[in-house]
Amino acid sequence: MVEENSKKIALVTGANRGLGLEVCRQLAQQGITVILTARDRQKGEQATQQLHQEGLEVIFYPLDVADDESVAQLVRELEDDFDHLDILINNAGINFDFQQQTLAADLKEVEQTFNTNLFGAWRMTQACLALLKKSQHGRIVNVSSGTGSFEGPRGLQEQGGGLPAYGISKAALNALTVKLSRSLQETGILVNAVCPNFTATYPGTAEMGARPVPEGAAGIVWAAMLPDDGPTGGFFRDSQQLPW
Ligand SMILES: NC(=O)c1ccc[n+]([C@@H]2O[C@H](COP(=O)([O-])OP(=O)(O)OC[C@H]3O[C@@H](n4cnc5c(N)ncnc54)[C@H](OP(=O)(O)O)[C@@H]3O)[C@@H](O)[C@H]2O)c1
């Protein structure tokens, strides 16, 4: 399996810390060549070094998913350096705006949140499409959240009018996932959204009940490694389909 995976190339956005970094680790542990991207070069290089020290094959490229030119520059470099891309993980995400209410929301802040959480994934998918289409087993994973669904104790209805930028951006990301999956049906590229569940990526959150980072990352990696007859256009947590 590791030998088979060694031909695979995966790209993870927002990978200098948290779930993105752990997803890089878990994919590289399976023998996949991982392109670790981050908007801050120093943080990205530090994270890459950390994985190198663990003996993992990871290559760093700078990328700000909210910036058209940064995305275009990355893809120009990737097209020079690689002949295909198998896995795109749209993980970069911002602004858990629990302090905001929908009626009074700062729409500039909402717009910025959408530019990363929704358009970042959309932009990256469009930009990487030519490389993904050259893969025999293309996979796109959009890292979403139950807060953007009608499911569970933290869903859209349960948040009331709170968490507008984040919750609505993740609901839209789920909708984008469906549209992309339908658009790519003929290509064999599987596109799914994954909620990692409340995960301890910040100090103090484990004490609030957040799960360990490797557990949250495992469901994202599962969607990246689906077999060719796996699902597409779904929303999953721990490999179980969720409503949204
Ligand atoms: N942790 C949870 O409980 C939880 C639950 C549900 C869903 N999620 C989702 O899981 C994903 C990862 O969450 P996390 O907890 O690991 O978050 P995190 O620790 O805050 O990491 C987010 C990553 O995204 C990067 N990022 C932000 N804006 C970016 C941009 N414009 N371009 C490139 N990278 C950018 C950040 O870079 P900087 O370090 O430079 O800021 C950071 O590396 C997010 O999409 C989040 O919404 C998390």
**How large is the average pLDDT for residues 177-186?**
98
Band (pLDDT 50/70/90 cuts) for residue 87 is: very high
Res. 151 pLDDT band, cuts 50 70 90? confident
Q: Is the per-residue pLDDT at 142 higher than 70?
A: yes
Average pLDDT, stretch 115-138?
A: 98
Query: Catalytic residue at 166?
Result: yes
Residue located via tokens 């990256």: 124
pLDDT digits (tens, 9 = 90+) for 206-225: 999 999 999 999 999 999 99
Domain 2-241 has CATH 3.40.50.720: yes
Evaluate if residue 72 carries a pLDDT over 60: yes
Tell me what pLDDT residue 52 has: 98
Q: What percent of the chain has pLDDT over 70?
A: 98
Q: Which of 8, 43, 61, 170 is catalytic?
A: 170
* Residue 6 pLDDT > 80: no
Which residues surround ligand 1 with Cβ inside 6 Å?
13-14, 16-20, 38-40, 43, 63-66, 91-94, 116, 120, 143, 145, 195-196, 198-199, 201, 210
